[in-house]
Structure 1
Amino acid sequence: MIEAQTRAWWRATLALCLGSFLVFINLYAPQPLLPELKEAYGVSTLGVSLLMSVATLSLALSLLVFGPLSDAIGREGIMRITLLLAGGCSLALALAPNFETLLALRLVQGFVLGGLPAVAIAWMGDEFSKPALLSAVGLYIGANSLGGISGRLVGGSMAEFFGTGAAFVTVGALTLAGGLLFWRLLPNSRAFVHQPFRLRPALAGLKGHLREPVLLAAYCLGGINFLIFINQYSYITFRLAAAPYLLAASSLGLIFLTYLGGTLGSTLSGRLARHFSPAACMSVGVVILMLGTAVTLADSLAMIILGLTINAFGFFLAHSLASSWVGRYAKGARGSASALYLVFYYLGASLGGFWLEPFWRWAGWAGVVWGSWALLTITLLVALGMWRFERRQAEQAR
């Protein structure tokens, strides 16, 4: 097993963080372009939001393929090949002749983007000791947020000065170059145990995970939190592109620097989990997310940015701990268990527009806030239930 802070741990963690960074550059590059694409193609806010929704939906569905497949054929090859295919899809997006083709390519891209997140944490679970796993997951999730920031910054700035096609070309070229470096850095696994793929046992494994309340709670918490968090960013771009803010695409891209709050939250998650109950920290993360959402109600742009930063910190704190929770409590088939968490996670993201759109039409941003609080109340109750479970486990151990 690879121990924390060793040379092998740093090399593997760096490779996985790079891969995660590249995945989320590709996934989120179109987000600051939504107001511009809405006008260019003459579609509604819900219609243009499908560029994000179809990608996250197909990504979620791909996890059901890549997770069990990785348990059978290994994990490194899936991560390496799908990362390069994702870069190729970004290059193809630059050549899309119409909105329908753009949607179809995003659907395909979402599917191949699922290859790395479906198996990365399972790879760590195989190769790392438990203390090494906790530290690595926090850094890996931090790379998620950095990738999300960079994708939006690159997408927004390149689109404003050179057009949306240039944004997709830039992201694609970065992904192909980074994918080759990832291929070189990632060590081959030593602890992986081959499990021949059989459809019925694979489905039974997924069903077994869904029957475990301790895992189902983490799945629901991650999915619902992400439904709110990521779609708030989509609707805030529509708010800030309109009067009185009138922000251009490059400025909207800068809004996503608030994800740095998430980088801090995910990086601190491992340290906090070593000193406090992970489920208690998840509960705190949800409360912080609710408070940050309240701050965004202010009219001041500075206060909106502060609220989004607070949101990112709370969300990524809870998400990092929920991810590692699955790795700790899954009984066998870790690849499938981790993939199932991400299925809920990205399925939530793909459905968020359908949940928040009626609130947006009803009361604008204030409606989005009310719709957010309604679901975050549910995840807070789930996190508190997980905390009670941890206390019972500790009492039984004593």
Structure 2
Amino acid sequence: MITSGSAAFWRATLALCLGSFMIFSNVYITQPLLPMLAQTFDVSALQAGWTFTVTTLTLGLSLLIWGPLSDALGRRSIMLLTMSGATLITLLLSFTDSYAGVLLLRALQGVLLAGLPAIAIAWMGDEFERPAMLLAVGLYIGGNSLGGISGRLIGGFVGDWLGWSQAFMVMTLLSLVCLAVFALLLPASQHFKPQPLKPRRMLADLGSHLRNPVLLLAYLIGGFNFFIFINQYSYITFVLAEAPYYLPPSLLGMLFLTYLAGTFGSAISGKIGQQLPQPLCMALGILVLMLGSLLTLSSQLWLILLGFLVNSFGFFFAHSSASSWVSQNAHHARASASSLYLLFYYTGASTGGFYLHPFWQWQAWSGVVIGSLLVLGVTLALSLCLYRLQQRQLNAVLT
């Protein structure tokens, strides 16, 4: 098993972080472009958001395919294949000139972008010792946030300068570089034990994970937190593009530099998770996310930005804790368990906009914050329930 701090640890972790960086750069590239896409294709704010939500929706659903397939066929080859296909679609997007074409390609891209997220943490669970895995998961999710930042910056700056289609061309070049380095660095699996590819068994594994309250509560916490967090960013772009701010796409893209706080939150979550029970780490992250949401109610731009910095730290701290909790507490078919977590996660991303839209129509940004706090109150309660369940299980073992 790979130990923390070894050369093999850093090589594998760097490869997976770069892969994560590439995947999430592609997922989030359209988010700062939403006002531009709405104007270009003459669609509403909600319809423009489909260029993002359709990708997260198909990504989430496809996790149920790639995770179980990797349990049977292996991890590394599937990650390489899907990353290559996603890069090809990014190239095709740069030549598309219709809204329907963009939606279709983004939907297909979501299917392929799911390959690495469905498998990466399960790969770590196979190959890393537990302390090494806790650290690696935090760094890997930090790669998620850096990818999200980069995709949005590329979308914002290149879109503002050359147009939205050229943003996809630049993303294609970046993806090719990440793919090449990933293939070079990621070692072959040493401890993977394939299972026969039996659909009935795959469904049974998924069902057993869903019946396990230790996992199900973490799925709900991760899914509903992302349901709120990511869609707050979508709606705030429309606030900041209008009076009194009038921010162009390039500056809207810079809003996502607030994800750097999430990178830090992810990186320290593993260390803190060794000192505190992970359900309490999830609860702490949610409380921070609620505080940040309240800060964004200010009309001052600097306080809005501060609120999103706080939000990002809290969300990614909770997400890293929940994600590693699932891998540690799934005692069989780890990739399937991680895939289910991410299914809830990305289904939340793709549906949260529909939930928040009535609040947006009711009270604009203040309504979005009210709707956010209602859901975050539920996930906070769920994390405390998970802590109580963990304590009961520990007491049962001791007695």
Task: Give 1:81 deviation, angstroms.
Answer: 1.3
3-state DSSP class of the match of 1:244?
coil
Query: Is 2:56 aligned against 1:46?
Result: no
Q: How does 1:169-188 map to 2 (within 5 A)?
A: 169-188=169-188
**What TM-score results when the alignment is normalised by the length of structure 1?**
0.99
Task: Give 1:397 deviation, angstroms.
Answer: 4.2
Task: Give 1:106 deviation, angstroms.
Answer: 0.3
Q: Which amino acid aligns with 2:143?
A: A
3-state DSSP class of the match of 1:4?
coil
Quote the Cα distance in structure 2 between the aligned partners of 1:206 and 1:395. Answer: 28
Quote the Cα distance in structure 1 between the aligned partners of 2:276 and 2:395. Answer: 15
3-state DSSP class of the match of 2:156?
helix
**C-alpha offsets along residues 29-85 of structure 1, whole Å, 9 cap, x if unaligned?**
110000011111111111011111100000001100000000000000111111121
Q: Which amino acid aligns with 2:193?
A: V
Quote the Cα distance in structure 1 between the aligned partners of 2:212 and 2:287. Answer: 25
Residue 217 of structure 1 corresponds to 217
Which one is further off, 92-101 or 298-307? 92-101
Q: How does 1:87-236 map to 2 (within 5 A)?
A: 87-236=87-236
Q: How does 1:323-334 map to 2 (within 5 A)?
A: 323-334=323-334
Quote the Cα distance in structure 2 between the aligned partners of 1:46 and 1:99. Answer: 14
Quote the Cα distance in structure 2 between the aligned partners of 1:271 and 1:177. Answer: 31
Task: Give 1:133 deviation, angstroms.
Answer: 0.6
Task: Give 1:392 deviation, angstroms.
Answer: 2.2
Residue 358 of structure 2 corresponds to 358
Q: Which amino acid aligns with 1:108?
A: L
Query: Is 2:305 aligned against 1:305?
Result: yes
**C-alpha offsets along residues 73-117 of structure 1, whole Å, 9 cap, x if unaligned?**
000011111112111111111111210000000000111000000
Quote the Cα distance in structure 1 between the aligned partners of 2:36 and 2:82. Answer: 29
Query: Is 2:58 aligned against 1:58?
Result: yes
Task: Give 1:396 deviation, angstroms.
Answer: 3.5
3-state DSSP class of the match of 2:49?
helix
Quote the Cα distance in structure 1 between the aligned partners of 2:198 and 2:97. Answer: 41
Quote the Cα distance in structure 1 between the aligned partners of 2:389 and 2:262. Answer: 26
Quote the Cα distance in structure 1 between the aligned partners of 2:60 and 2:101. Answer: 21
CA contact (8 A) 1:88 1:176 kept: no
Quote the Cα distance in structure 1 between the aligned partners of 2:225 and 2:21. Answer: 21
**C-alpha offsets along residues 168-211 of structure 1, whole Å, 9 cap, x if unaligned?**
00001110121011111100000000111011000011011000
CA contact (8 A) 1:279 1:386 kept: yes
Task: Give 1:370 deviation, angstroms.
Answer: 0.6
CA contact (8 A) 1:290 1:376 kept: yes
CA contact (8 A) 1:20 1:140 kept: yes
Task: Give 1:331 deviation, angstroms.
Answer: 2.3
Structure 2 alignment gaps of length 5 or more? none
Query: Is 2:381 aligned against 1:381?
Result: yes
Name the count of aligned residue pairs: 398
3-state DSSP class of the match of 2:274?
helix
**What TM-score results when the alignment is normalised by the length of structure 2?**
0.99
Task: Give 1:393 deviation, angstroms.
Answer: 3.1
Q: Which amino acid aligns with 2:252?
A: L
Residue 371 of structure 1 corresponds to 371
Quote the Cα distance in structure 1 between the aligned partners of 2:373 and 2:389. Answer: 24
Quote the Cα distance in structure 1 between the aligned partners of 2:181 and 2:329. Answer: 33
Q: Which amino acid aligns with 1:98?
A: S
Q: Which amino acid aligns with 1:378?
A: V
Quote the Cα distance in structure 2 between the aligned partners of 1:354 and 1:13. Answer: 36
Query: Is 2:245 aligned against 1:245?
Result: yes
Query: Is 2:87 aligned against 1:81?
Result: no
Quote the Cα distance in structure 2 between the aligned partners of 1:135 and 1:107. Answer: 33
Residue 317 of structure 1 corresponds to 317
Structure 1 alignment gaps of length 5 or more? none
Quote the Cα distance in structure 2 between the aligned partners of 1:194 and 1:393. Answer: 30
3-state DSSP class of the match of 1:82?
helix
Q: Which amino acid aligns with 1:121?
A: I
Quote the Cα distance in structure 2 between the aligned partners of 1:164 and 1:39. Answer: 12
**C-alpha offsets along residues 229-266 of structure 1, whole Å, 9 cap, x if unaligned?**
00000000000001100000000000000001100110
Q: How does 1:253-292 map to 2 (within 5 A)?
A: 253-292=253-292
Q: Which amino acid aligns with 2:249?
A: A
Quote the Cα distance in structure 2 between the aligned partners of 1:114 and 1:82. Answer: 8
Quote the Cα distance in structure 1 between the aligned partners of 2:178 and 2:320. Answer: 24
Which one is further off, 365-374 or 382-391? 382-391
Quote the Cα distance in structure 2 between the aligned partners of 1:185 and 1:355. Answer: 41
Quote the Cα distance in structure 1 between the aligned partners of 2:45 and 2:357. Answer: 8
Quote the Cα distance in structure 2 between the aligned partners of 1:86 and 1:170. Answer: 14
CA RMSD in angstroms comes to: 0.8
3-state DSSP class of the match of 1:2?
coil
Task: Give 1:166 deviation, angstroms.
Answer: 1.0
Quote the Cα distance in structure 1 between the aligned partners of 2:105 and 2:265. Answer: 33
